[in-house]
Amino acid sequence: MSNAQKTIHTKAFLLLVLLLISCRGISQQEKDTTKLMNVRYGSKGIELQTRDNKFLFQLQSRLQFRFSTPYDTDPLTYDDYSQDAKTTFKINRARLKIGGHAFEPWLKYYWEYELSQSNLLDFRIMIEKWDFLSFKVGQWKTEFTRERFISSGEQQMVERSLINRPFTVDRQLGAEVYGHLKGNGIADFNYWFAALTGTGRGSTSNDDNHLMYFGRAQWNFLGRFLDFEGCDLEFHEKPTPIIAFSAITNRSPYTRFSQAGGGSLDGFENGLPGQYRVNQWNLETAFMYKGFSWQSEWHTKEIIDKYNNNDMTVMKGYYVQAGFFFHNVFHWWPKHLEMAGRHASYRPDYSIRQNRQDESTVAFNWFFNGHKNKLTSEVSYFSFQDKTLPLEQGWRFRIQWDISL
């Protein structure tokens, strides 16, 4: 064997030894990682958790496919009822959600991003070491209304009601203190108090020296907490009712808020810094028991124009909603099928007698895997009343598939 061949063989042998050592090192590293980390698919998607539970990372995506005819959004003005038919199929939402805890199980974080519109919706840090006293800082949906705070993926209907647009406070940036005061029997309460920028999602600064102040008190008068959820998928074995009252005061250029941020309701001009003082109140009820669910809200909203002689407009609205899994009564009814109904009414100016918009909706939910994979269909009937115009009416049909991965 020549010296050159010996050199090649020696190099090959050394390379083989190095590869074996590397493979053993990688194998050992994988074993060590397995000892340190658990990987699983859970209720919040893919979950990575350390063995000591000091770190948890959760990753989930959600898609919402919707078909609607003759239009998708709720009519806002009289002219909307006679708009041209526009049958639509679209990806209504495409969300990426990241959450978990870091360093301690009670130091939690959450991010949510809307991929279809490139919007950062939520980003917040929560300190939840004690049930009676927790803290939150960042951007999130305020707990002002039950309907708005329930995730769009856990709604009972295809979409929120007619009154959501004028009364929601939506996402705001700020800090909050909240907790659960677990008393015996009727002495059981939840509370939320927040100081917020008051200029809507995505706003990095305030328009003036005024903040938005928010408060909510929830009475769990049978001693059982009811979470923000749209259907009684848990089939509560005991009656679980709540009554809640919430209020907000704010001064800003805006008369409404949405996922897009601050905006103007119909009939109001785009405001200047601090132009509108907005005061809102909401009385809310909810109840769940053995497949039956109920929720309602009664809203009042004052808009005071500080730049135009303190002109005030008062708005009122309400909705009532209920659903039931009828297989509890009829054996032939499919177990995974829920029927629900809702009626909503809104008066944009309470001082005008003939000034009302109404929505009545019937919906059916088929749950393949709870809210994580469901099909919802609904039919809605709208009417628009105006003192100077004839009554306008219209129908709408929508069907939606919502799936979380």
* Cα separation values, 254 from 121, 269, 315, 327, Å: 19, 9, 15, 47
Q: Which tens digit of pLDDT belongs to each residue from 35-76?
A: 678 899 888 899 999 999 999 999 999 999 999 999 888 877
Q: Is 36-404 in CATH node 2.40.160.10?
A: yes
User: Which residues pair with residue 286 across a beta bridge?
Assistant: 242, 295
Mean pLDDT of the chain: 89
Q: DSSP letter at 371?
A: B
Average pLDDT over residues 94-100: 96
Binned at pLDDT 50, 70 and 90, residue 202 comes out as confident
Q: What are phi and psi of 30, to 5 degrees?
A: -65, -40
Task: Locate the domains of the chain by residue range.
Answer: 36-404
Binned at pLDDT 50, 70 and 90, residue 384 comes out as confident
Nearest to 282 by CA among 144, 108, 88: 144
Nearest to 92 by CA among 141, 158, 166: 158
**Model confidence at 8: pLDDT above 90:** no
Q: What are phi and psi of 325, to 5 degrees?
A: -90, 100
Decide: 325 and 232 in contact? Cβ < 8 Å.
Answer: yes
pLDDT value of position 34: 54
Q: Which tens digit of pLDDT belongs to each residue from 234-284?
A: 999 999 999 999 999 999 999 999 998 999 998 898 899 999 999 999 999
> CA-CA distance, 66 to 159, in Å (whole number)?
10
> CA-CA distance, 157 to 321, in Å (whole number)?
10
> CA-CA distance, 75 to 88, in Å (whole number)?
15
Q: Which tens digit of pLDDT belongs to each residue from 324-341?
A: 999 989 999 999 999 999
Average pLDDT over residues 134-149: 96
pLDDT value of position 18: 47
H/E stretch holding 35 reads helix 3-36
> CA-CA distance, 144 to 173, in Å (whole number)?
14
Binned at pLDDT 50, 70 and 90, residue 20 comes out as very low
Given CA atoms 361, 366, 370, 371 in this order, what sign does their dihedral have? negative
> CA-CA distance, 223 to 326, in Å (whole number)?
27
- Which range (1-5, 222-226, 318-322) has the least confidence? 1-5
Q: How far apart are the first and last CA of the chain?
A: 62
pLDDT value of position 12: 44
pLDDT value of position 376: 97
**Model confidence at 1: pLDDT above 60:** no
> CA-CA distance, 376 to 291, in Å (whole number)?
17
- Which range (12-26, 59-73, 155-169, 177-191) has the least confidence? 12-26
Nearest to 295 by CA among 344, 234, 223: 344
Give percent of the chain above pLDDT 90.
72
3-state secondary structure 154-187: HCCCCCCCCCHHHHCCCEEEEEEEEEEEECCCCC
> CA-CA distance, 141 to 228, in Å (whole number)?
12
Q: Which residues contact 19 (CB under 8 A, 6 or more apart)?
A: none
- Which range (15-19, 189-193, 317-321, 336-340) has the least confidence? 15-19
**Model confidence at 25: pLDDT above 80:** no
Decide: 122 and 107 in contact? Cβ < 8 Å.
Answer: no
pLDDT value of position 78: 65
pLDDT value of position 23: 47
> CA-CA distance, 264 to 357, in Å (whole number)?
18
> CA-CA distance, 226 to 294, in Å (whole number)?
11
Q: Which residue has the tokens 């109001």?
A: 268
Provide the strand spans (E) within 290-404. 292-305, 311-324, 337-347, 355-367, 373-386, 389-404
pLDDT value of position 389: 66
80: helix, strand or coil: helix
288: helix, strand or coil: strand
pLDDT value of position 28: 47
**For residue 112, which amino acid is it?**
E
Q: Which residue has the tokens 């009670």?
A: 106
pLDDT value of position 21: 46
pLDDT value of position 82: 65
pLDDT value of position 35: 66
Count Cα neighbours of 393 within 13 Å in the Cβ-side half-sphere: 3
Q: Which tens digit of pLDDT belongs to each residue from 153-164?
A: 999 999 999 999
Average pLDDT over residues 182-205: 92
Please give the radius of gyration of the chain, using alpha carbons only, rounded to the nearest integer.
27
Average pLDDT over residues 179-191: 92
Decide: 109 and 125 in contact? Cβ < 8 Å.
Answer: yes
